[in-house]
Amino acid sequence: LRYLNQRYTMPTNKSKALLTDIGTEEMAHVEILGTMVYQIMENASIDQIKAAGLDGHYADHGKALFYTDATGNPWTATYIQAKGDVIADLHEDMNAEQKARATYEWLINLTDDAEIKKILGFLREREVVHYQRFGEALMDVQDNAKPSDFCK
């Protein structure tokens, strides 16, 4: 959502298109992760759910998806940032991609399941590509936009 919101203040067609494309792809990542988690949970026994420390989740949501962080805090739009300063937004986007890459690496370290590692590895690779594309967008904006277009 961050990238889809920020695209409106991008000063070049290339940067607008890039944020649209990456924002759309990130929504697909949510679908991939949601499918993976649901497939893990759907056949889990109550004992497995308890052993995984998910009994609180199960008590509130059964085996349904409910988006939280690793400590159980519900997802919130607070994470969605759009400053309106193109340079600041693109730098923040690059930082977000690096944080996501690191998180995928740590998740890979937490599992022995080869299929899950494969999925997480794919997503990690996409974060690296997104980081690179945001760097290219930053150069495009700096090279092709007027400084007066940087803050909207």
For the annotated binding site for Mn(2+), the residues are: 26, 29, 97, 130
Binding-site residues for Ca(2+) sit at 21
Closest CA to 134 of 95, 96, 101, 94: 94
How would you class 26 by CB atoms within 10 Å of its CB: exposed for 0-12, middle for 13-18, buried for 19 or more? buried
Binding-site residues sit at 21, 26, 29, 97, 130
Q: Which residues contact 66 (CB under 8 A, 6 or more apart)?
A: 57, 60, 74
